Amino acid sequence: MDGRGPTGLHIAIIMDGNGRWARARGLPRVAGHRAGVETVRRVVQAAPELGIGTLTLYAFSSDNWQRPQAEVATLLRLLHEYLLAETDSCAAHGVRVSAIGRRERLSRGLREAMEVAESATAAGDALHLRLAVDYSAREAIFRAACRFYKVTEVSRASFAQVLAEVNRDGAPDVDLLIRTGGEQRLSDFLLWESAYAELLFTPRMWPEFSAEDLAAAVAEFHARERRFGRVPDAAAS
């Protein structure tokens, strides 16, 4: 964690189901991805009022490079368009934007849009919006381990700091990880940070996910008992 930004819950979301949502409606997959961008806008707008301080969205995984070239180009173009369209609004509403993951394989234009968004929104204190792009948790952990031998203080906290440097950004551990689309796996997303995260898998496709769905997920999180390896208070007495 880098010590900046708002307090509150850290919610991470695997935004799955865009393609299946589109196919079910006889639409091309790109239509699902475009609809998914609108969901991002809804969720970002709703997050601060739900007590969410950090929102990490899995925008493009390192494994997504294996998809058809046309779909990869579409996904990255939509991300570029989102940053161009939303940076000013995010700055005006106190949303700090940052990107985690590798950047060297991205286009120059997309990298520049990320840098502009990060600079323009750096003072945001209502929500920290983190976009995971060309991201792999295993790769990030591996790269952090390769650097860790240079660290004088050997501790979990110091390793987490090195991992944050690899990711170009740090954040608190994940409180709640949501995956839409019905699949029940983490898909190489925030493995270190989600060690004690509550998990919520919903069959709702990402383009259908609403502010009300996010509120329901947060309410379910608050209803759960988080023990972190300890026994419940009642059992301990």
Task: Give all domains of the chain, ordered by start, each with its CATH number.
Answer: 9-222 (3.40.1180.10)
pLDDT confidence of residue 9: 98
pLDDT confidence of residue 1: 37
pLDDT confidence of residue 236: 54
Q: What is the pTM of this model?
A: 0.92
pLDDT confidence of residue 192: 96
Does residue 2 register a pLDDT over 60?
A: no
pLDDT confidence of residue 4: 40
Distances from the Cα of 49 to the Cαs of 32, 218, 223, in angstroms? 27, 11, 18
Residues serving a catalytic function are: 16, 64
Q: Single out the residue of 106, 46, 65 nearest to residue 13, CA to CA.
A: 46
Does residue 227 register a pLDDT over 60?
A: yes
Give percent of the chain above pLDDT 70: 95
Mean of pLDDT values over 125-151? 94
Residue listed under structure tokens 């695997």: 14
Q: What is the pLDDT of residues 146-177, one digit of tens each?
A: 998 887 788 888 999 999 999 988 899 999 99
CA 214 to CA 50: how far, in whole Å?
8
Average pLDDT, the chain: 93
Mean of pLDDT values over 71-82? 97
pLDDT confidence of residue 225: 87
The amino acid present at 182, given as its one-letter code, is G
CA 153 to CA 21: how far, in whole Å?
48
The residue ranking higher by pLDDT, 79 or 152, is: 79
pLDDT confidence of residue 3: 37
Mean of pLDDT values over 115-140? 98
pLDDT confidence of residue 149: 80
Burial 44-78 (b: 16+ CB within 10 A, else e): bebbbebebbbbbbbbbbbebeebeeeeeebbbeb
Q: What is the pLDDT of residues 201-218, one digit of tens each?
A: 999 999 999 999 999 999
pLDDT confidence of residue 5: 46
- Cβ atoms of 169 and 223 within 8 Å: the answer is no
